[in-house]
Structure 1
Amino acid sequence: MPTSTRSTADIAASTPHEELFAQVLDQDSRSNPYPLYTALRARPVSRQTDGTWVVSGYEEINALLHDPRISSDLHNANRAPLTKVNPSLIVQDPPGHDRLRGAVMAQFTPAVVESFRHEVRRLVDGLVDAVGSRTRLDLVEEIAYPLPVSVICTLLGVPREDETRFHAWADTLARTLDNDPSLTQQEIGEINDASAELGRYLEELTRDRAQSPGDDLISGLLTGGRRSDPLKGSELVITTRLLLIAGHETTVNLITNGMLTLLRHPDILERFRGEPGLVVPMVEELLRYEPSVQFRHRATLADIEIGGTTIPRGSPVVLMLAAGSRDPRHFPDPDRFVPDRTPNDHFGFGGGIHYCIGAPLARLEAQIVLPELVRRLDNPRLVADPPHYRPTAALRGPRHLWLDVDGIRT
């Protein structure tokens, strides 16, 4: 991977404001995009060279997340999406969004989430035990990835042995979140192919589940319930795809970014070791300080006056959630990691009608795994800092996080 000899702060200082978002998408910025976000917030609402409007201030983002004149369907912008991925509920507007979300929420209840607590603990114990006597491990491949994948497969009723198949598809499809105009035709073709292959896999899976229903979430979506109609055909396939991918990708990054942050703050890690109950507010601070989802794309359905300017109807808009969560106008000392920060109304799970459906499950997993990693990994150290990051800017996290340890505690 080519790396820049200039720091992100230097790039931010020398880049015209109208080209800052292009720098956010650049792979060289992946390890530390926050100086770029600081530069963007100097003008919380700004038009970039390619016509995209970027919103980076907390109050402005919060207003637009709750504004019905903002659309999640990018076909409402004056340029079409680059890829042919079928639209899930996160890129739909009411009433279609509300119906599909209601169908999922009718099955994905707080009781269902809580029922996984014991299973998550069992999985964490097994994954840490598997490190054995080795003194080097990749936190991503050995713990942060397999944990949420196992959980979401169990929840949906997806055969765990098929994980290697959808792992590659999920990695490829994550690139669509950037809506990056620099994607080559070959890359766009790979994304479209991955979407089609995953679609065929899920069509077969949901067809089999319709013939032999169980107690999993896919079966629940097929039958519906008192509060929702059943989902069938393409709607069921597309919704299942969303749950399968979003149900583990963001949690992988939450766990990995969380451990990386703790290792960069040894005083807080030591406090956490002696105060495991700190995990609840600390996970919220991780969601603010190093969120998995950095930004989301939107389109305007009307002219919108905000931040001292007017965004015209039909404009592509990027809501810089991670920049808003570090806005000094809203958060005191925003670039400091404060594990018990209160209040902490971050954008780590988005906001408005598209607030993350899987937030309760992601919180549960992070609140269980992080204390166990801190308790059981003896003297963990980063092998490389910064680590090698995944290519996607919108869904940001390390591809690998290699740690040296003195051993595994029981």
Structure 2
Amino acid sequence: MDPIIAATHADPYPYYAQLRAEGGLVFHQGLKLWVASSAAAVAAVLAHPDCQVRPTTEPVPKTIARGMAGEVFGRLMRMNEGERQRCPRSAIEPGLALIDAEEVRALVSARLITPNAEGLSKAMFRGPVCVVAALLGFTPAQARVISELTADFVACLSPLSHQLQLDCAHEAAEQLRGHFFELLDDSDVQSPLLNGIRQRFASSDMEMLIANLIGMCSQTYEATAGLIGNGLVALIRDQLLLPGDVDAFLAEVQRLDPSVQNTRRFVAAPCEIDGIHLKSGDTILVMLASANRDPQLNDDPDAFILDRPNRRSFSFGAGRHQCPGQVLALSIASATLRQILAINLDLGCLTWHYRPSLNGRIALFTEA
């Protein structure tokens, strides 16, 4: 076991407890990076201005730097610091907070979910992107195309992707860019979300705006799928009945078994964190899932407590790069989980494994 393999292990949480016992911020000799596993260390790293989301020497991964996927990647607010992060975020975040949960439920309900593993996969991965695309003003048919292209584009975000997947990601980025250009050029589009984003977007850089609209879809694709899937795993594994308060159920799922297990930060200048001196160029693996189960953050952290008081979680990040779409993601996941259970899919016939990933915990289901 190591901190990266742990993300897709059947039960990584005892190992995370061992990491915390060894120290909040410790150098891993095998991986040649620092591992922040305690809540205090994770909070300190995420808040530190010299801990950045990309290495200063490689703002865009070399594998995609010479293509459209790389151009989009380089403009994403979550892959940038300073004004290139603040400007898109200040345009996008306010509108996400205003989305009506009833509208989300209506969009989810409008999609047909077939009662088998294939239908479940589409509901987990494609459905949430269709919802975001619809909220941005795409028609249902267009939204399905956006979801398919997003599935190809997200391959550029994984170091595990092979060259054919990366080639498809470049092509998908080109097509997504074209669709968003057409959307922004269409004066008949009725989308309060999109209109608000355009009005607040302080830059005249259309490419920056389009890249971050694509980013809204790509962020939705895997993280929301993982949230839905891990909710189903909790119901099946622990033989739970879905409570009436689905929102509270998923809030505890995302704390206890988050879809994003870790993230990385790259030290841009010498600094000290948690009593440890770090050098420029150091890499820190930030163990979000481990911090969620730190007793210093949550009482009785390994227990599933539906009405947990003062629930605290790093699953959606913290500080300047905290995910602005947390409320929307939980709303989509809640509505989707209700729909899945309403189709009378036999959960007892499902088995699962976790999608290969260095940081994600996304259950893939098959029928036994």
TM-score range, shorter chain: 0.7 to 0.9
CA displacement at 1:170 relative to structure 2? 3.8
The yes-or-no answer on 1:394 pairing with 2:359 is yes
Q: Is the 8 A contact 1:283 1:367 kept in 2?
A: yes
Q: Distance in 1 between the 2:120 and 2:249 partners? A: 20
* Stretches of structure 2 lacking an aligned partner (at least 5 in a row): none
The answer to whether the Cα contact below 8 Å between 1:303 and 1:311 also exists between their aligned partners in 2 is yes
Name the structure 2 match of 1:53: 34
Corresponding residue for residue 97 of structure 2? 110
Q: Which residue of 2 aligns with 1:206?
A: 180
Q: CA deviation at 1:396?
A: 1.6
Mapping of 1:238-317 within 5 angstroms? Answer: 238-266=211-239, 268-269=240-241, 272=242, 275-277=243-245, 279-317=246-284
Whole-angstrom CA distance in 2 between matches of 1:348 and 1:164 = 24
Q: Deviations over 1:242-274 (max 9, x none)?
A: 1111123211111111011111122x42xx4xx
Structure 1 residues 115 and 215, CA gap change in structure 2 (3 angstroms): farther
Q: In structure 1, what is the Cα distance between the partners aligned to 2:261 and 2:234?
A: 16
Cα distance 1:52–1:328, how it changes in 2: closer, same or farther (>3 A)? Answer: same
Match of 1:152 among 132, 146, 153: 132
Q: Residue 32 of structure 1: CA displacement?
A: 2.9
Does structure 1 residue 33 correspond to structure 2 residue 12? yes
SS of the residue 2:284 aligns to:
strand
Indicate which of 328, 332, 338 corresponds to 1:361.
328
**Distance in 1, Cα, partners of 2:263 & 2:204:** 26
- CA spacing shift, 1:220–1:295, aligned 2, 3 Å: same
Alpha-carbon distance in structure 1 between the residues aligned to 2:19 and 2:49: 25
- How far is 1:90 from its partner? 0.4
TM-score (norm 2): 0.84
Given the superposition, is the C-alpha separation of residues 209 and 80 from structure 1 closer, same or farther in structure 2, using an over 3 Å criterion?
closer
Q: How far apart are 1:373 and its partner, in Å?
A: 4.3
* Contact 1:140/1:399 (<8 A) preserved: no
**TM superposition score normalised by structure 1:** 0.76
**Closer, same or farther: CA 382–51 of 1 in aligned 2, 3 Å:** same
In structure 2, C-alpha distance between the alignment counterparts of 1:246 and 1:265, rounded to whole Å: 28
CA deviation string 1:97-116 (max 9, x = no partner) = 1011112225x243334462
Q: What amino acid is the match of 2:6?
A: V
171, 190, 197: which is aligned to 2:171?
197
Change in Cα spacing, 1:47 to 1:82, as seen in structure 2 (3 Å) is farther
CA contact (8 A) 2:36 2:285 kept: yes
Q: Are 2:109 and 2:339, in contact at CA under 8 Å, matched by a contact in 1?
A: no
- Per-residue CA deviations over 1:311-350 (Å, capped at 9, x if unaligned) read 2222111211111111233323322222222221111211
> How many residue pairs end up in the alignment?
354
Matched letter for residue 381 of structure 1: G
Partner SS for 1:388 = strand
**Residues 195 and 376 of structure 1: CA distance in aligned 2, closer, same or farther (over 3 Å):** closer
Q: What amino acid maps onto 1:59 in structure 2? A: A
1:265 partner amino acid = D
C-alpha distance after superposition, 1:34-75 (max 9, x if no partner): 333223222221222343211111111112222222112323
Per-residue CA distance 1:110-154 (angstroms, 9 max, x = gap): 333446234245236x42xx43xxxx5456325323431320221
Question: Does the 8 A contact of 1:66 with 1:352 survive in 2?
Answer: yes
Q: Which residue of 1 aligns with 2:85?
A: 97
SS in 2 for 1:112: coil
CA RMSD in angstroms comes to 2.9
